[in-house]
Amino acid sequence: MNKRKRTGRIALALLISGIVFLTNTIAMLLTIVAIYGLARLGVIETTGGQVGLPELLRFFFYTSLVIGFLLASLTGKIILKPIKRIIDQLDRLASGDFKTRLHFGKPIADHPTFKQVEKSFNRAAEELDYTEMLRSDFINNFSHEFKTPIVSIAGFAKLLRRGNLTDEQKEEYLEVIEEESLRLSAMANNVLNLTRVENQTILTEVTRFNLSEQIRGAVLLLAEKWTPKNLYMDMQFGEHMICANEELLKQVWINLLDNAIKFSDPNGTVSVDISDGSECLSISVSNHGKDIPKDRIAHIFNKFYQADESHSSEGNGIGLAVVKKVCELHGGAVSAKSESGTTTFTVVLPKQQNM
């Protein structure tokens, strides 16, 4: 907790304590005034102009009890009003109303702690609203992308079933069916991978393996994608070992390399570089092509987000979300930079895992 937050919470505690103290003080003063007034009116018996001790204690007790209750009810409503507002807005948020926002009235809104509560709540609501919008877009886009290959497979399967086709036509139709089947498989795997890593909170199956060899293997797996674009895969790095979940980390390189290949200009270069630090390895994947707009680069690791809003390129906004989650599970991080026609994704991972 930083110093500013700690100071704000101390100030809030002092404010509430001050209100309680002030309430008690006012209750006592009003009680004394009430007793004095009752004594002057003769309601309380006096002896020689003095109020008897038993009567004084009895009236002081009952009068302070009544006045204290009334003041506590009044100040309690004032103190609990912002809390009630928070509860009401949380209920709206829980019911799915992500457009709701929290705003306190004066003078509470000027207090640093309530300012922080208001800011945090509204930021959370905005993120939920944004994620819901992306989720809705994802469902629409994914449904469309999922339906397209199914229609293609069904259509070409019907043509094959009718017969009267040349060997070239059969080969062409079978190739389309195979490609569309692989496309469906890739989309399903992405969704399953995201679900799997999101539900995983503890890193398991950690082994020591050659990270350099794993990345080279991922490049070979994607050869059918970078070969038609005549891309040069620049991998001038040495051998580096790491302790990690091999299967999960494999998804990181496949997603980052696939992304780099997809958005590279033809005849360009995709570069992979590994820097060896004292405790961490830094892996960079770069490609040359159109820059990612600065207003979108902050969102590319969000679920369902696609920087290419036209959806002209393949993808469903899941791959980079998987990359981020896997890196976090390993105690690492991933970042992106895009400028001057070069986009670079950098992954930083610890060499060892604390088990």
Q: How confident is the model at residue 150 (pLDDT cuts 50, 70, 90)?
A: confident
**What is the separation of C-alpha 115 from the centre of its chain, rounded to a whole number of angstroms?**
21
Q: Give CATH 1.10.287.130 domain extents, the chain.
A: 136-198
- Identify the band that residue 211 occupies on the pLDDT scale cut at 50, 70 and 90: very high
Tell whether the model's pLDDT for residue 115 goes beyond 90: no
pLDDT in tens, 15-29: 666 666 666 667 666
User: Which alpha helices (DSSP H) does 163-210 contain, by range?
Assistant: 167-198
Round to whole Å and give the CA distance between 259 and 300: 12
Confidence of residue 271 (pLDDT cuts 50, 70, 90): very high
Q: Is the pLDDT of residue 209 over 90?
A: yes
3-state secondary structure of 170: helix
Q: What is the pLDDT of residue 311?
A: 43
- Could you give the CA distance from residue 268 to residue 13 in angstroms, rounded to a whole number? 62
Query: What's residue 121's pLDDT?
Result: 85
Q: Are 273 and 256 in contact (CB under 8 A)?
A: no
Alpha carbon distance 8, 203 (integer Å)? 37
Dihedral of CA atoms 209, 334, 306, 221 in degrees, nearest 10, equals -20
pLDDT computed for residue 283 by the predictor: 94
CATH number of 206-350: 3.30.565.10
Q: The domain 136-198: what is its CATH number?
A: 1.10.287.130
What digits encode the pLDDT tens for the residues 289-310? 888 888 778 778 876 655 555 4
How far is Cα 244 from Cα 242, in angstroms, rounded to an integer? 6
Q: Where in the chain is the domain with CATH 3.30.565.10?
A: 206-350
Structure confidence at residue 185 as a pLDDT band (50, 70, 90): confident
Residue 42: band (very low, low, confident or very high) from pLDDT cuts 50, 70, 90: low
Q: Give the pLDDT of residue 40.
A: 65
Q: What is the pLDDT of residue 1?
A: 47
Q: How confident is the model over 92-99, as a mean pLDDT?
A: 83
Judged against a pLDDT cut of 60, whether residue 45 lies above it is answered with no
> CA geometry: angle at 202 spanning 198 and 207, to 5°?
110
- When the pLDDT of each residue in the chain is averaged and rounded to a whole number, the result is 78
Where does the chain show beta strands of DSSP type E?
46-47, 50-51, 206-210, 232-234, 241-245, 269-276, 280-288, 333-339, 342-350
The interaxial angle of helices 53-94 and 112-162, nearest 10 deg, is: 20
